[in-house]
Structure 1
């Protein structure tokens, strides 16, 4: 099996811990404002995931062409507005940043197209 080394990707993972009972409102708000991120020219895509183990915990992963362009967005007025709309739902959370080193596509992704 060969390792595919992708073009450099800067990945951001956010953990959202929500106030009880706010899941549906959070999901709808996230969907309604997601284009602020996906329409940024340096954004490669983003995903919202709900924890299968912890109630009221969500993760957001977004991929960027590089760290500098992400940081540019992170300090923009658009990001502040985006963050402000999600803040009322949160009771806690964290941010992790990373560089994708290797990408090993699974068989299903290879045959069905890239569905990351």
Structure 2
């Protein structure tokens, strides 16, 4: 397994009472991300300390391929379907500089 080169992390505040429906829609439209050949994985996480806060993480082979996806119509459709649930959101992007396996062995 090789280390992903680029990671995107979204922090989303979901309108109160819409959390369950948001999770369903995220699952139903996820292929827009995971079917992209440069995508290495896509995760939805719910905060245990902040009500209505979710984190969405995705790994990409590199920043350029993520940026191409970000400007695509597939991404636009994906965003449009999730937008009604969103109260606010922030995005962080980062280059992965290390990846340790359970045994402590570094990959990549």
TM-score with structure 1 setting the length: 0.85
How far did residue 74 of structure 1 move?
A: 0.2
**Ranges of 4+ aligned residues in structure 1 off by more than 3 Å:** none
Partner of 1:78 in structure 2? 74
When Rg is computed on C-alpha atoms for both structures, the one with the higher figure is 1
How far did residue 58 of structure 1 move?
A: 0.2
Partner of 1:90 in structure 2? 86
Q: Which runs of 5+ in 2 are unaligned?
A: none
Cα pair distance change 1:37/1:8, threshold 3 Å: closer
Q: Which runs of 5+ in 1 are unaligned?
A: 1-5, 111-116
From 23, 27, 43, the equivalent of 1:27 is 23
How far did residue 7 of structure 1 move?
A: 4.0
Asked if 1:66 is matched to 2:62, the reply is yes
Distance (Å, rounded) in 1 between the aligned partners of 2:37 and 2:4? 16
- 1:1-116 equivalent positions in 2, closer than 5 A: 6-107=2-103
Distance (Å, rounded) in 1 between the aligned partners of 2:83 and 2:27? 15
How far did residue 90 of structure 1 move?
A: 0.4
The count of corresponding residues between Structure 1 and Structure 2 is 103
